[in-house]
Amino acid sequence: MKQKHLIDLEYMTKDQLEKTIKLAGVIKEKPEIYKHACDGKIMATLFYEPSTRTQMSFQTAMMRLGGKTIGFDDPMNSSVAKGENLKDTITVVSGYADIIAMRHPVEGSAKAASHYSNVPVINCGDGGHYHPTQTLTDVVTLSYEKGRLDNLKIGLCGDLLNGRTVHSLIKTMSRYEGNSFVLISTKELSVPQYIKDVMDKAGCPYTEVDNLKDAISDLDVLYMTRIQRERFASEEDYQKQKGVFVLDKDKLSLAKEDMIILHPLPRVDEIAIEVDDDPRACYFKQAVYGMYGRMALIVLLLRQEDSFLFDTPDIDTDKNLKCHNEKCITNVEMEYYLPKFTYEKDGHVFCEYCDHIIE
């Protein structure tokens, strides 16, 4: 099935991804060529959860392309406060705007929204599920700061369990030749099994370690992440994990001269401020690359070329199949009207919205 909505980077072909990265570079170098690319177009940014980078970089991207933006950054300032459901909000907004960028706390919400939108929906984060434009940001940064997307040894450090950007980056980088991963975390916050399956299937070597200092010396890229306080069952559990991994000047002195440090941000305490002035610290540049990546994405999505439609699995409907993921949109606000779509892969049936195995 082909669709115009960007729900996960997994559905972008390598050609589409490389076209987007290349265009991001052209826009960065020659922004004047694209300053009227979206004249007369409107983007709606619907943010049901807090954001600095994703929301503002999309708004800035649209404005720098000559377009305009509408939307909300607090659903309580919209009719969501009066009980309006996602279906009705999206149906109405897709009649106002040419493209929608949305973040929502519930897994599968972007996919659900796409069923009710006539215009492209870009997933800007759906709970702990996907955050494709962060991965786009990461690969644009890697392309221009390392000069390649292959043959990299990538260390990922911190909350590898809850970090949707970590999962998405591993999935994407596993598609490129010669990449390997060093997974640096506590046992409790290690990468989920399905991500290990992705690396195994792609033939990408990986090791799991619990010491950043020992691992740093042969990395090409170090991807730091914050411990995601909001995803813990209790404050006590969070406190046990907080501050275990901190990148400081001492540890950085052991790293290669050309290693780069990435972080999706926001940072809490996992990178000491003293690291910010090191030339290897790329995380603030990364946030700017994100804006160029999003400009490229908007231009390509609004062109509506067949070559920029995304291939997603063919879906079936079975009213009797229920997703077991209690954080899935099919079990939250839309359970009464959202069609129960599923797809089959590797001998299993998956929920179309949150991608959890049903049977």
* Binder among 16, 20, 45, 54 for ligand CP (CB under 6 A): 54
Q: Distance between CA 119 and CA 148 in Å, rounded?
A: 33
DSSP, collapsed to helix, strand or coil, labels residue 70 as strand
Residues from 258 through 287 that contact ligand CP (CB under 6 A): 264-266
Structural contact between residues 312 and 1, judged by C-beta atoms closer than 8 angstroms: yes
Q: Distance between CA 18 and CA 24 in Å, rounded?
A: 10
Nearer to ligand CP, 286 or 342 (CB): 286
Could you tell me the smallest distance in angstroms from the CB atom of residue 52 to ligand CP?
4
Could you tell me the smallest distance in angstroms from the CB atom of residue 122 to ligand CP?
13
Is position 291 an interface residue for ligand CP (rule: CB under 6 A)?
no
Nearer to ligand CP, 192 or 266 (CB): 266
Phi, psi of 197 (to 5 degrees): -60, -40
Residues from 167 through 196 that contact ligand CP (CB under 6 A): none
Could you tell me the smallest distance in angstroms from the CB atom of residue 245 to ligand CP?
18
Sequence letter at residue 185: S
DSSP at 159: -
The C-alpha angle with vertex 96 and arms to 89 and 298, in degrees rounded to 5, equals 100
Is position 74 an interface residue for ligand CP (rule: CB under 6 A)?
no
Q: Which stretch binds ligand CP (CB under 6 A): 22-30, 46-54, 58-66, 183-191?
A: 46-54
Is position 158 an interface residue for ligand CP (rule: CB under 6 A)?
no
Count of chain residues binding ligand CP (CB under 6 A): 8
Q: Which stretch binds ligand CP (CB under 6 A): 28-36, 47-55, 106-114, 334-342?
A: 47-55
Closest CA to 90 of 124, 113, 121, 119: 113
Is position 51 an interface residue for ligand CP (rule: CB under 6 A)?
yes
* Binder among 16, 69, 134, 168 for ligand CP (CB under 6 A): 134
Could you tell me the smallest distance in angstroms from the CB atom of residue 56 to ligand CP?
8
Nearer to ligand CP, 256 or 267 (CB): 267
Nearer to ligand CP, 63 or 309 (CB): 63
Is position 225 an interface residue for ligand CP (rule: CB under 6 A)?
no
Is position 53 an interface residue for ligand CP (rule: CB under 6 A)?
yes
Structural contact between residues 217 and 240, judged by C-beta atoms closer than 8 angstroms: no
Nearer to ligand CP, 134 or 330 (CB): 134
Nearer to ligand CP, 290 or 338 (CB): 290
DSSP at 107: B
Nearer to ligand CP, 94 or 228 (CB): 228
Pairing of strands 221-224, 310-311: unpaired
Structural contact between residues 297 and 290, judged by C-beta atoms closer than 8 angstroms: no
Structure tokens at 2: 């082909």
* Cis-peptide, bond into residue 50, ω within 30° of zero: no
Spacing of C-alpha 317 from chain mean position = 27
DSSP at 355: -
Is position 41 an interface residue for ligand CP (rule: CB under 6 A)?
no
Using the Cα atoms of residue 52, residue 13, residue 4 and residue 21 in order, give the sign of their dihedral. Answer: positive
Positions that interact with ligand CP (CB under 6 A): 51-54, 134, 264-266
